[in-house]
Every structure is written in structure tokens, then in C-alpha cells.
Structure 1
Amino acid sequence: MPIPLSDPGIDRGLLREDVYRRLRDAIVDGTFAPGEQLKDLELAAWLGVSRTPVREALLRLAHSGLVLAQPGRSTVVSPLDVREVRDARDVVAAMHELAVREAVPVLTEADLATMRDANRRFAAAVQSGDVEQALLADDDLHGVLVTSAGNRALDRVLEQFTPTLRRAERLRFGSLRGRASITQHDELIRLCAAGDVERAAAVAYDTWHSLPSAEA
């Protein structure tokens, strides 16, 4: 689709990270479709920034596999590739397994309550077909564990590979298959509350690794 004409409501003092996240999210949510050409001048005008942070963001997005950049030529949104999704799924699943191992010993009752609330919102969103809210609630639930783990290297790896997986997840949470995650979340929370690190880690891994890469 063309660059949106509406004002995205971003401050002109936008930081590089904000530019990157805005463009990344536009690719993940389908605003920019696979194969669509991205022109830094048009993107800069849309975001109300100079071309420099846009170019830097496109380089990061290329590193993450979300765009295909050809120096001196065009930059396009990457197609959803089965192999890319499978690879990202394997890495992200392993990182969430690690997050659980590091987080469970330090989780508080407040953390567990946040996870339960997130899964209630997740279930309601999946059942109503609200993909955006399902993804937000899913992020909130798993984010408790990632934050509690406090592992910066883990954060950086997830930052790089999760967007690729999220593009495929939009298909899952928009289908009946997404309902399986509700039960997986319930079991994950139960095991975390019981302090069962090994089984909780296994459930976390399976939850992420069960995303069908063939849907990409």
C-alpha cells in the first residue's frame, strides 16, 4: 500500500529508536506489504524527520530480515519466508525458555497476577478475533518473564528476531489455532507459581516453537 497520508502523530524530535520501531511495526502489522518498495524520502516526510534516521532504521531492518536493501537501488519489504520464520521461531523459543529459567526464582505474586491478567485479556482478544489486542496481551504476559530475567543479551536477541515471528503470529492469532495458546499460558503461569523451573521452561519453549512456520 502507499505511504499513509495521515499524520502519524510523532514528535519531530523523534529519536532514532522511535523511527526504527515505527517502521518495524508498520511492516509487522501489514501497513507496508511484502514486496512494497520503501523510499527513504517518502518515509522521512511521513514521520516528519530527516532521511538519516530513516536510512539507519532501514539498515537495522535489513539486518533483522524485514527488508531487502540493495545499496544504490531499491529497498523493499521482505516476503514472509518459511525458512526465515522457522529460524526466528527456533531462536525466539530458546530465548523464552532461558527467560523462564532465570525469571521463575525471582517472580513475585504481583508478577504472577500481571501474567494472569494478561492471559485473560489474551483469551478475550483471541475469541473476539482482535489480533492486535491478542499480540499486545501476549507481549505483556511473556514480557513479565523477560523483564524479571534481567538478561540484556537475551533482550537484544529477542529484539532482533521477534518481529519476523510476529508477522507470522498475526495469522495464528487470527485463527482458531490461536486458542491453543490460552491453555499453554495457563499451564505456564501455574508452573511458574509452583516454582517448577524445568517444566515451566519446557512449556515456554513449546508455546513459541508451536507456531507453524508453514503458515508464513
Structure 2
Amino acid sequence: MPTPAPHGIHKRSLLRDDVYESIRDAIVDGTFGPGERLRDPELEKWLGVSRTPIREALLRLERAGLIIAKPGHATIVAPLDPDSTASAQQVVAAMHELAARLAVPLLGRDQLAAMTEANGRFAHALGHDDVELALAADDDFHAVFVGTCGNDMIPAVLDQALPLLRRVERQRFSSHAARHSVTAHAEIIRLAGMGDADGAALATRENWLSLGTETTP
């Protein structure tokens, strides 16, 4: 039989993703704090959508470890848990290590310049205590390896693991301890510029593992 018409599937998919990202970001940035109850009617009113995409988003957030949902009971934002955070950190570090190892042989001047520029913005944001800009610049820095490596599974895995770690990132980037990452980024750029894939990969891994797993709200 002929393939059926999509009937708005793409639009629905985009809506579902938008709802998920909105709730996820509100949890990560602290708008919804650990232990806070998430009520469907309030989320529907806030996002202006029906219950179906809300429930789909909450299921994804539960799989990501960001909420705890008990059927027939409350759905709450998950507390910061050292074990879960450490597990996410290990996965994120391993994925970025692999991305660096694959990407370095493929890097050109433009990619290295993009990393240098992103690290400059990162240092500037930290110097001005701007956590949002620091996070964006750090994402841009690491995105060069991820975007160049040619392995499409890496960003998919990161999309699952990184949100759980992001709450700890926000804490670190609010402290002076994050200044170390500027130097670590510079060393990664130096090794990548030399074509040292193993060195850049290991330095990238250590950069992510140095994040720490503090769980202070």
C-alpha cells in the first residue's frame, strides 16, 4: 500500500521536543528546584499545550534522571544525587574523550580558531560572573570536537546524560574553581593544534572529570 500522509507528524515532534526542552531547562537552571512538585495543569498553563506532550516530556525527563514520577502520586524534581551525577559525569567525559580523539585528525584552522574564540568568551564570562554566558561558551568550545568527529551517536548519548550533570556545572561556573577550565581548554587547543589526538582526548576527559560532583543545592 502507498505510504500514508504524515498528518502533521513533524509539527507534533517539534512541539514535543520544545516542551521537553522547556521543562528540562527550567529544572537545570533552578526555576524548578530539587523536590519541587510538578503539576500537569500548571505546566499546561505555563507552556500553553495539552497534557499529552507534557506527559511525554515528563517520561523523557524521568529516564534522564531529572524527575521522580510515581503513578497516582506526585511528580517531583529529582534531588541532586552524588551517584547519579557521577555516573552521568563518567558517560559525558567518555563521549567527549572519544569525540576529541576522532576529531583532532580532521581539524582545520577554522575549528581551532572557533575553539580559541569560545575559550576567550568563556574566560570573559567567568570573569564577569555570568553563568549563562559561561555555559554557552563552554558548550561552543566542546561542540567543535563533537561536530567534527563524524560520529552521530555521540551527541545522542550526550543529550541523554548531560542534563543531569548540568546542574553541577552551574554550581561550578558560579565559583572560582571554574577558572581552571580556561587553562585546561587552552591546553586542549594546544594539543589539538599539534595533531596529538590521544593527548587532546585525555585532556578533554580530565577537563570533564574535574567538574566535581558537589550536590549542594
TM-score (norm 1): 0.92
**Shift of residue 190 of structure 1?**
1.1
Q: Measure the CA separation in 1 of the matches of 2:13 and 2:178.
A: 38
2:110 is aligned to: 110
Give the 3-state SS of the residue equivalent to 1:33 in structure 2.
Answer: coil
| Contact residue 80 and residue 215 of structure 2 kept, 8 A | no
2:28 is aligned to: 28
**Shift of residue 215 of structure 1?**
4.2
Q: Deviations over 1:123-176 (max 9, x none)?
A: 011111111110000000001111111222211110011011110011111101
Give the 3-state SS of the residue equivalent to 2:214 in structure 1.
Answer: helix
Decide whether aligned partners of structure 1 residues 77 and 126 sit closer, same or farther in structure 2, where only a CA change above 3 A counts.
Answer: same
Q: Measure the CA separation in 1 of the matches of 2:135 and 2:207.
A: 14
Q: Measure the CA separation in 2 of the matches of 1:204 and 1:119.
A: 14
The runs of 5 or more residues in structure 1 that have no matched partner are 1-11
1:204 is aligned to: 204
1:173 is aligned to: 173
Decide whether aligned partners of structure 1 residues 60 and 120 sit closer, same or farther in structure 2, where only a CA change above 3 A counts.
Answer: same
1:137 is aligned to: 137
Q: Measure the CA separation in 2 of the matches of 1:138 and 1:214.
A: 19
Q: Measure the CA separation in 2 of the matches of 1:100 and 1:14.
A: 30
Q: Measure the CA separation in 2 of the matches of 1:60 and 1:87.
A: 18
Aligned amino acid, residue 183 of structure 2:
T
1:156 is aligned to: 156
- RMSD over aligned Cα atoms: 1.6
1:22-101 equivalence runs, <5 A: 22-101=22-101
**Shift of residue 54 of structure 1?**
0.9
Say if 2:184 is the partner of 1:184. Answer: yes
**Shift of residue 72 of structure 1?**
2.1
Aligned amino acid, residue 184 of structure 2:
Q
Aligned amino acid, residue 69 of structure 1:
A
The structure having more radius of gyration, on CA atoms, is: 2
**Shift of residue 44 of structure 1?**
1.6
Q: Measure the CA separation in 2 of the matches of 1:72 and 1:15.
A: 26
Q: Measure the CA separation in 2 of the matches of 1:17 and 1:150.
A: 24
Q: Measure the CA separation in 1 of the matches of 2:196 and 2:124.
A: 27
| Contact residue 88 and residue 164 of structure 1 kept, 8 A | yes
Q: Deviations over 1:103-124 (max 9, x none)?
A: 1111121111111111000001
| Contact residue 14 and residue 49 of structure 1 kept, 8 A | no
2:6 is aligned to: none
Give the 3-state SS of the residue equivalent to 1:15 in structure 2.
Answer: helix
Aligned amino acid, residue 116 of structure 2:
R
Give the 3-state SS of the residue equivalent to 1:214 in structure 2.
Answer: coil
1:11-22 equivalence runs, <5 A: 15-22=15-22
| Contact residue 168 and residue 214 of structure 2 kept, 8 A | no
Q: Measure the CA separation in 2 of the matches of 1:71 and 1:150.
A: 40
**Shift of residue 13 of structure 1?**
9.9
Question: Which is worse superposed, 42-51 or 90-99?
Answer: 42-51
